[in-house]
Amino acid sequence: MPTDAPAPVRRALLSVYDKTGIVDFARRLRALDVEIVSTGGTAGALREAGLRVTDVADVTGVPEVLEGRVKTLHPAIHAGILARRSRTDDMAALDDHGYTPIDLVVGNLYPFAEAVADPETDLGTAMEYVDIGGPTMLRAAAKNHFDVGVVTDPAQYDAVADELHENDAHLSAPTRRSLAEAAFAHTAAYDRQIDTYLSAGADADGSSEADLPDAYEASLPRAESLRYGENPHQNGALYGDPSAFYEKLHGKALSYNNLLDTSSALALIDEFRDAGPTCAILKHTNPCGVATADTLEAAWHQAFATDTQSPYGGIVIVNRPLDRATAEAIDEIFTEIVIAPEFEPGVLDLLSERDRRRLIRHEAAARESDRLDVRSVLGGLLVQTRDPVLPPASEQQERWEVPTARPPTEEERADLDFAWRVAKHVKSNAIVYARDQATLGVGAGQMSRIDASELAVFKAQKSELDLAGSVVASDAFFPFADGLEAAASEGARAAVQPGGSIRDDEVIEAADAHDMAMVLTGQRHFRH
């Protein structure tokens, strides 16, 4: 038995929402003759398993009230948790009131984040998922971890039970300290979920003027340790819970770079949730080909045609259930990740034949809840509101200004909208050529917009794609007329850009000289 251990665990309070493993854990406690105190559904589950349980109401002498809102908020519970065993006055106070020490608290909280992820959840319903008694008990036990153990995760059950059995029902000081740290992190993350939800709601209904908090706080549990970071000599880990956004169905664990690419792919495909069958291929977070067509298979072939070299080892994402014909076409090359909202029968088996390939199912609706974009810099963090998904095409185009003599045709408008959505997700400087809802050339991440334009043309020429009759999108304004003139010389017939340059008049004049249509969005989508 550790010499730093307090009194043995003789009484445990179990109150959990997630009942995974709780019956087996309780059995191991009872094998040590630990009295189990419990509430509501937890007590019912334990009794159903044949375990002896003391109701909290029998400890407090007060029944649950307000339909279970008040159960454990009573001195008999909290004095039992908070009493310092080394203080004779604390223990005398327990005796005076007829209270018994509680040596172990086991709890997890209402699934607030899961509840509010449902878009149908209103504010009143959300507030019913705000746990009061649970966090109070966990914090009390964590505060008094010198004497009390606190367990907040089913993953902790086996290790805690093993130590109790090996050490005559005692928990060591390091174990109690570690469990307390986990408990405070658990309750802090829970409170932050509630704050995030309420803050987002305030922004949505106009009751808050602040887009960003005065202090940025984040406490995210480590979801998994990664083999390494961006490079093998860097350590890496994923913090948070991405399960609301996607689910990996096959393949080895996602790497640091895989996770970056997956996030970029999910954000891109969100732009096309209202479009026809759409396929996007990404490499190193940049789209190398995107297309919308009558079928996913046609969309894949058109997207791949943009750049037939880069997709090897890249990511493919689609906005429709992935059918076998499209899957067979994708399977002709090695793609590291394939993402779809669903996979039709037999498709998973087909694509799973490559062990190195990861298969992911994405949840489109969940991504809108991610409100802030955070990046690290020396000395701190940069925080901004996330660049939102563009509205449907009809709404988007209502905001456009047409400064040129010739307005775009309906076909050009559709292609301009398409190219603009793609350019939004290309690293700046970004230039995208497109025609018939498919990319032809993508210029990404260049130091000058001229270089980006030349790269986009080079990519199209390399893939033997004709730019005649195409449209061109730029994520920021054309600083000089020469960029637009170069696009016109390649055969582009229309352009979309934010506008706002002091030389806009020159650029518009150049467009008119080449009978090009141009629209100004009034909003740039620079992606550093």
Alpha carbon of residue 3 to chain centroid = 44
What is the CB neighbour count within 10 angstroms for residue 465?
18
User: Residues, the chain, total?
Assistant: 528
What is the CB neighbour count within 10 angstroms for residue 1?
11
- Give the Å distances, CA to CA, from 121 to 104, 194, 389: 34, 13, 22
Q: How far apart are CA 473 and CA 489, in angstroms?
A: 15
Q: Is 284 marked active-site?
A: yes
From the candidates 19, 250, 284, 514, give the one annotated as an active-site residue: 284
Alpha carbon of residue 217 to chain centroid = 17
Q: What are phi and psi of 55, to 5 degrees?
A: -70, 145
From the candidates 19, 143, 250, 301, give the one annotated as an active-site residue: 143
Helix 75-82 to helix 88-97 angle (10° resolution) is 160
Tell me the two tokens of residue 374.
């955070």
Going by C-alpha positions, the residue among 422, 482, 413 that lies closest to residue 454 is: 482
Whose tokens are 């509501």? That residue is 40
Parallel, antiparallel, or unpaired for β 358-362 and 337-340? parallel
Q: How far apart are CA 70 and CA 57, in angstroms?
A: 11
What is residue 182's DSSP assignment?
H
Torsion of CA 138, 139, 143, 145, to 10 degrees: 20
Q: Is 143 marked active-site?
A: yes
Active site amino acids: 143, 284
